[in-house]
Chain A
Amino acid sequence: MSIQTPLETIDAVLARNLDNPTRLIQILREIQEALGWLSPEVLAIVARGIRLPLARVKGVAGFYSFFHTQPMGRYRVLWSDNVTDRMLGSTDLMSEMCKKLWLEPGRVSEDGLASVATTSCTGMCDQGPAILVNYRAITRLNSQRVTHIVDLIRSNTPLTDWPTEFFQIDDNIRRRDILLGNSIQRGDALRSATQQSPLAILEEIKRSSLRGRGGAGFSTGLKLEACRNARGSGSNPEHYVICNADEGEPGTFKDRVLLTTQADLVFEGMTVAAYVVGARRGFLYLRGEYRYLLDSLEAVLSRRRADRLLGHNILEKDGFDFDIEIHLGAGAYICGEESALIESLEGKRGIPRIRPPFPVTHGYLNQPTSVNNVETLAAAALISVKGGDWFRTIGTAKSSGTKVLSISGDCDRPGIYEYPFGVTVAEVLADCGAELSKTQAVQISGPSGICISAEEFKRRIGFEDLPTAGAFMVFNTQRDMFEVAHNFSHFFAHESCGFCTPCRVGTTLLKNCMDKIEAGHGSEYDINEIFKINRLLQTASHCGLGHTACNPMFDTLQKFKPAYERRLKSLAFEPAFDLDETLSQARQMTGRDDAAAHLESNAEENS
């Protein structure tokens, strides 16, 4: 193959994406994969190609963490910065890597070779500390691996020649139930569905009482029904089915394993959903961190097309046409929110829409759209084969079926555990090898979820008590719960989309407050500020990110207040900066370091 010029590369990418502005995120990603970064000239060519104002294209490139409008070096190393990575030593290992490469975090080395920075949780919490190198996931970092990677970077070794074991990602499935232990053959769910009418399958799903597995727990049957009943608009009315695989909640990695081990079942669930709502096109929105899954998922789709499980007249059923496209995200947690995800799919900044109207009536391209979690769609495929009544016998009254948990943190056996709903936290802890007497807290459903203390370990996983999208992070009694909340406060500030005032500014003020307490300048005043900002976020935020952004601080302040109190300097107000320290430059310039040149000693002398 001849080597393309940058212009030929851009033209090829634009042609492959049919100059379609709704594919802007895919266009930018593909160009960046080839050219390394997105220069102003490149963005201008793209804008002309897809006929969008340049400022819009720049705005999109500037929104997603994984797009670079500055050169970032030939090797871009990003350390997953979830608290579980930190508990496994990521902070020290990252410093070690920076020291060996002679560079500062976040800065590109002078020779343009490499940059090292942090990124939000990459979903490898059971095999961390994890990094992304040029957006390829590498797990189980340790000192030797850091040294090895530094050598490979220094010697300019192409990523394709790096040891394959670096890129090995384990499923770590520790407990299987109806979903992970299913014996369904490819096509079974679809054959069962197409032998019935779409309405009959919809009834089956409603009868199952299946609820969304992304955390909110909306009835899947009602969602599909509302989408089916909504009329498409315009000259080309359509319905769409979207699988939300933007698994960004720190501590969650079950969709990664479902897409690795059950991809057919997930796609089959999407196809069943399409049959129900009357969709001809569907999308899998895959988070950018899971880029490595793209080729294998595309292969599964090709095989399904060849087997008449996708495409025209599926399973010889006249008029049943459906196909699936995979879109990759580019580093934006907010795109897990369904209306922000749709904006992203349309090639825009991932800003949650004003609701109502909801996606079931006005979704992708303003057409009725059902957005469902990976696990929900897999469960829908199971229901198609085995029936709603069967599904409802599993779990509890208000939470039918099973839940796949992603367990990480202080336990002997982190990984994937599938349980019928209703299991207690204590049972889960026993199974994953976390000693009850040595466990201080569990963060259920990630930073936006709830932090529970040891007194609450009898509580049950389920919509009646502890709803969860799957994250289950365990903290032993040695852990500092302030540090946990501190880490999460940085996460929310980084991931706020910036649309509404309370979340845009409030998450940064919260982060600054937590930094101030951590630096030993905090007081009771700052604690009250956290509560005050929490009340505003609850009242006035535009979407769930803002509503939940203060949960980690709120929960830990309620349940682990001593972790804060031992850091507080006084009960009165304290400034965020050290007044004496700020005078050090003046002291250096004047060559003085005597007692009178220091504030503290001044105060002592005067008293």
Chain B
Amino acid sequence: MSLVDNSTSISFLIDGEEIPFVKGQSILQAALAAGKYIPHLCYHPEFKPNGSCKLCTVKINGRPGASCITQAEAGLSVESDTPEINDKRRTLLQMLLVEGNHFCPSCEKSGNCMLQALAYDLGVMSPHFPQIFPVRLVDASHSDILLDFNRCILCEICVRASDEVDHKNVFAFSGRGITKHLIVNAESGRLADTDFLATDKAAQVCPVGVILPKRMGFTIPIGRRKFDERPISEQMEKVADAAGIAIRESSP
């Protein structure tokens, strides 16, 4: 059952296209529901919006703002798919690429990775900035799940999933600024010393290659994976969120 009022038809414009919405939806939710893709990484329809990756930044009546945390309003004029905004998005992706250690050819998430897929789709030709090369250790302690922090983009989706759905709080952030990093809820800091299970919601939602199920890395060969087939912007399957009002691209 939907709690929102569908009785009046209200809409706003994205890149000149009319986007209907229901009260309470963010610009991003309304856009995805209408089949208009806006790039995003830290947004996940099943959790509270986070507003941190800034990939979904658009211009709202001429002013920049993150579309996942801005409420849709009738009559807004939103610019999204413009050379200027896409240029900013490429820069953000390049920042994420140099911040972590992303070696796509050796990554088992290649082809199913949202960061890689967005970079391809937006035409990122190189990381551009000098690599930061942080030292991040891998945690292979858990019997069913590998954690490779090298690829973490700090989207907070696993933190929210473990908190809001699993009620386990297995993940949190520590550090600050460029040293901010994902940590595990155990005195030892190791995943094996938590109650984490491969069936947890938090084990299913990583958009990049940090939280990986063991022993199935290459069951689908590279080249035949989700984003090898079609770009991320063309893969929006109908998936309803908690309130039954959004559509998103299904998780890889």
Contact = CB atoms under 8 A, between A and B. Distances in A.
Task: Report if A and B associate in a common complex.
Answer: yes
A493 interface: yes
B185 A55 contact: yes
A55 B171 contact: yes
Interface in B49-81: 49, 51-55, 57, 64, 66, 69
A497 B176 contact: yes
B96 interface: yes
A44 B88 CA distance: 42
Interface stretch (A8-16, A172-180, A463-471, A534-542): A534-542
Interface stretch (A237-245, A443-451, A507-515, A559-567): A507-515
A354 B187 contact: no
Contacts of A40: 187
Contact of B130 (A332, A532, A576): A576
B169 A56 contact: yes
A552 interface: no
Contacts of A508: 132, 177-178
Contacts of B177: 493-498, 504, 507-508
A501 B178 contact: no
Contacts of B187: 40-41, 44, 54
A501 B53 contact: yes
Interface in B88-135: 88, 91-92, 95-96, 98-99, 129-130, 132
A55 B176 contact: no
A354 B99 contact: no
A355 B198 CA distance: 35
A539 B52 contact: no
Interface stretch (A17-25, A58-66, A228-236): A58-66
A374 B51 CA distance: 31
- Tell me what chain A mostly uses at the interface: helix, strand, loop, or mixed: helix
B52 A499 contact: yes
B180 interface: yes
A58 B52 CA distance: 21
Contacts of A499: 52
Contact of B96 (A59, A493, A501, A576): A501
Contact of A493 (B52, B129, B130, B178): B178
A59 B57 CA distance: 28
A500 interface: yes
Contacts of A544: none
Interface in A62-77: 62-65
Nearest to B68: A354
B172 A500 contact: no
B175 interface: yes
B40 to A, nearest CB: 12
A63 B173 CA distance: 9
A489 B178 CA distance: 14
B57 A539 contact: yes
Given A55-B185, A56-B169, A59-B173, A505 B178 contact: yes
Interface in A39-58: 40-41, 44, 53-56, 58
A40 B66 CA distance: 37
B174 interface: yes
A414 interface: no
A62 to B, nearest CB: 3
A41 B184 CA distance: 15
Nearest to B89: A540
Contact of B174 (A63, A502, A509): A63
Nearest to A535: B88
Interface residues of A, number: 43
A507 B177 CA distance: 9
Nearest to B188: A40
Nearest to A53: B169
Nearest to B42: A501
A536 B85 CA distance: 10
Nearest to A353: B51
A509 B95 contact: yes
A172 to B, nearest CB: 32
Interface string B160-184: 0000000001111111111110011
B186 interface: yes
A354 B69 contact: yes
B176 A332 contact: yes
Contacts of A576: 130
A301 B170 CA distance: 42
A349 interface: yes
Given A505-B99, A509-B129, A536 B91 contact: yes
B172 A56 contact: yes
Nearest to B51: A354
A123 interface: no
B183 A506 contact: no
Contacts of A536: 88, 91-92
A62 B98 contact: no
B172 A540 contact: no
A601 B180 CA distance: 44
Nearest to A507: B177
Top 4 closest pairs, chain A to chain B, by CB: A62-B174, A498-B180, A55-B172, A55-B185
Given A44-B187, A505-B98, 18 more contacts: A41-B187, A54-B187, A55-B171, A58-B183, A59-B183, A63-B174, A349-B173, A493-B178, A497-B176, A504-B99, A505-B132, A506-B95, A508-B177, A536-B88, A536-B92, A542-B51, A542-B52, A542-B66
27 contacts: A44-B187, A53-B169, A53-B185, A54-B185, A55-B169, A55-B171, A55-B185, A59-B172, A62-B176, A63-B176, A349-B176, A354-B49, A493-B178, A498-B175, A498-B176, A498-B178, A498-B179, A499-B52, A500-B51, A500-B53, A504-B177, A507-B178, A508-B177, A509-B129, A512-B130, A540-B57, A542-B51
Interface of A: 40-41, 44, 53-56, 58-59, 61-65, 332, 349, 354, 493-502, 504-509, 512, 532-533, 535-536, 539-542, 576
